């Protein structure tokens, strides 16, 4: 199975800050990497697929990059509604696996 490791596990930042979350895969997954946002008490929501393709309706302050084993999710200017947990997920091979999540809090 491909293991997905996110860092950090949690962070606290201010509105307007630039934020980067890292995801590392245990094997080469090319660009089969997806990012989800999960607000408290809600279902996950797909933000980015194929490492850098923004889903329709997702604000442009979100961006993704990377390939192979190392990937990043960047929020260019943190907004209050971005307070949530973020999960990476590989879709290179079954079983599809998720990172453990990064909890983002607003100071």
Partner 1 sequence: EVQLLESGGGFVQPGGSLRLSCAASGFTFSRYAMSWVRQAPGKGLEWVSSINNDGSSTYYADSVKVRFTISRDNSRNTLYLQMDSLRAEDTALYYCAKDPVGTMVVGYFDPWGQGTLVTVSS
Q: Which helix (H) or strand (E) holds 88?
A: strand 84-90
- Span 72-101, contacts to partner 1 by CB under 8 A: 87, 89-92, 94-101
Considering beta carbons, is residue 78 or 101 the nearer one to partner 1? 101
Q: Does 102 bind partner 1 (CB under 8 A)?
A: no
Give the torsion through C-alpha atoms of 94, 101, 58, 63, to 10 deg.
-90
CB of 13 to partner 1, least distance (A): 21
Question: Contact, 30 vs 70, CB < 8 A?
Answer: no
Structure tokens at 17: 């800050």
Q: Which residues bind partner 1 (CB under 8 A)?
A: 32, 34, 36, 42-46, 49, 55, 87, 89-92, 94-101
């Amino acid at each position: 199975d491909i293991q997905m490791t996110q860092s950090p596990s949690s962070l606290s930042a201010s509105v307007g800050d630039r934020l980067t979350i890292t995801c590392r895969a245990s094997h080469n997954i090319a660009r089969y990497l997806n990012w989800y946002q999960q607000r408290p008490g809600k279902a996950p929501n797909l933000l980015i697929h194929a490492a850098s393709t923004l889903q329709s309706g997702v604000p442009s302050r979100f961006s993704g990059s990377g390939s192979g084993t190392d990937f990043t999710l960047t929020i260019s200017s943190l907004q209050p509604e971005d307070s949530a947990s973020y999960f990476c997920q590989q879709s290179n091979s079954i079983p599809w696996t998720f990172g453990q999540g990064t909890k983002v809090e607003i100071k």
